[in-house]
Amino acid sequence: MNKELRYSESPSTEVSRTIPASPEVLWELLSDINLPARFSTEFKGAEWLDGASAPAVGARFRGTNEHPHIGNWTSESTLTVFEPQQHIEWQVEGGGGPAATWGFRLEATTDGTVVTQYCTLGPGRSGLNAAIENRPDKEHKIIA
């Protein structure tokens, strides 16, 4: 039996894949805050804030997003982990705590690099909360 997802329970997910490339090559891609915009229909790009020009623990950036059912919005994030060629993590600012935590972990193997991407929603409020409050019967679909 599948349990329905609830935002209040800070649902999370992760996926790992082995990629036939070195951690050095992959790190250059994964630590570029604008690279995902090339492949996403929702994320449009990001800019560093507070004088930052490169990733480092504590560096902040603003992301711009667009969704046909939600509209346009921005969010601000802070890098919480930055271990070159190993681990990068950021938290999206939300009301009452992080709205989400995203990250990548890299592990060199004889076949290349195992890349693990993970995400945890909440516990802070995000744009998802308004959608959930509007359609509580669809909460599990909104956050899935």
pLDDT, the chain, mean = 92
Per-residue pLDDT, averaged over 92-121, amounts to: 95
Judge whether residue 47 has pLDDT over 50.
yes
Superfamily of domain 7-143 in the CATH hierarchy: START domain (3.30.530.20)
Which of the four pLDDT bands, split at 50, 70 and 90, describes residue 1? very low
For residue 85, the model assigns a pLDDT of: 97
Three-state SS letters, the chain: CCCCCCHHHCCEEEEEEEECCCHHHHHHHHCCCCHHHHCCCCEEEEEECCCCCCCCCCCEEEEEEEECCCEEEEEEEEEEEEECCCEEEEEEEEECEEEEEEEEEEEEECCEEEEEEEEEECCCECHHHHHHHHCHHHHHHHHC
For residue 3, the model assigns a pLDDT of: 72
Domain boundaries, the chain: 7-143
For residue 137, the model assigns a pLDDT of: 86
State how far the alpha carbon of 135 is from the alpha carbons of 55, 72, 130, in Å. Answer: 37, 20, 9
Per-residue pLDDT, averaged over 85-108, amounts to: 95
